[in-house]
Structure 1
Amino acid sequence: MIIHGARPSPFVRKVIVFAAEKGIAAEVQPAGFGRGGEGFLKGSPFGKIPALEDGDFLLCDSTAIITYMDALKPGEEMIPVEPKARARTIWYEEFGDTIVQAAGSKIFFNRVVARFVKMTPDLAAADKAEAEEMPKLYDYLESVLPESGWLIEDRFTLADLAVACPIINVAYASDGLEPARWPRTSAWLAAVKARPSVAAALEAEWQAVKGMLDK
């Protein structure tokens, strides 16, 4: 199985970690930014990352890919089976993929990616997102995180992974998540990053991120 994409992408990271949590062996091949192998070009006709190549089965979009992966290996699903837990997990994925990512990308793209791809960064937009948008999201997380430290079923699920991935990118370029103000959220993010699957993904992507930070 091959995952096509750029490792620092929150959506690519989500699929890489999801595969590791499910015990699915996957090779990661670089794609995006105008590059990619034949499997990526065929599997993602609009250049969306990540894309999946599993033999002759090709698929793009992180949500579609993880849905496929979860069904491949039933048992201890990352997407819970119990109806209410399942529905809330899907909400948290939507929250991470659209709401958190929309705010967080203003910080990560403008402070990190823009210079790397030779675009003019909008640092004012990054500063505004850090000061006005992200605190509201951290406030929300602080209010919904259970005592267990995990969003759903007192265990690590897609809910935690999907919400954490864009925040991880924010943390590469911002120290706005203050433990004194958001202790539960800070502890939760640290626990996510400490999981072996996530730690391995972060280690593998660090050189790419460092290359962008050093630009």
Structure 2
Amino acid sequence: MVELARRHPAIVPGVTAQARHSRRIVGIAGKPGAGKTTYALGLVAASEVPAAYVPMDGFHLADVRLRALGLLDRKGAPETFDAWGYAALLRRVREERDHPVYAPGFERDLEQPIAAALVVPPEVELVVTEGNYLLLDRPEWRAVRDQLDEVVQLETDDDVRRARLVARHVEFGKSPAEAQAWVERVDEANAVLVEAAAHRAHRVVQTS
């Protein structure tokens, strides 16, 4: 994916010297398992200006809150994220450039958000964020999109994508049967929402 980012720098206006005097925020959207994290990290690594990575995953609601809301069995759906908090953090990232801005990360081993795990230093000129729902037409997700200079939608083969998801769920503790059931019941329902919003992207990039 790093090589893809290097071969196609034009997908992110501002990765080059054009952005040296303003901080840009670029969003990478796509269905679950489309390779968003790998692609976003590739853009950060390939950037010609100081860049940072701030994913949506840090705004997962914690399991204790999802359990209280009756949403634990739908973890990963749009309503299981603090989208308003995500939008507010992106606004801070854009506007507050005289001090570090800390952002939550997500620990896959725990499957929980971790406060202040990431940082955007003052010298950063490009921030790359990624998540499934950057293009959803709901008030909280529109607030997120309002902070983005560009949104790139990733497309990949659905069979490849689903196989990745099953493998990921198995890696982090589910049995193969549980992983397959989760992908079919939860991840694919979320993929339908993402696909319906894809036309709002500035551009589409095919990934493998």
- TM bucket, shorter chain: 0.3 to 0.5
| Greater fraction strand | 2
| Greater fraction helix | 1
TM-score using structure 1 length: 0.31
TM-score using structure 2 length: 0.32
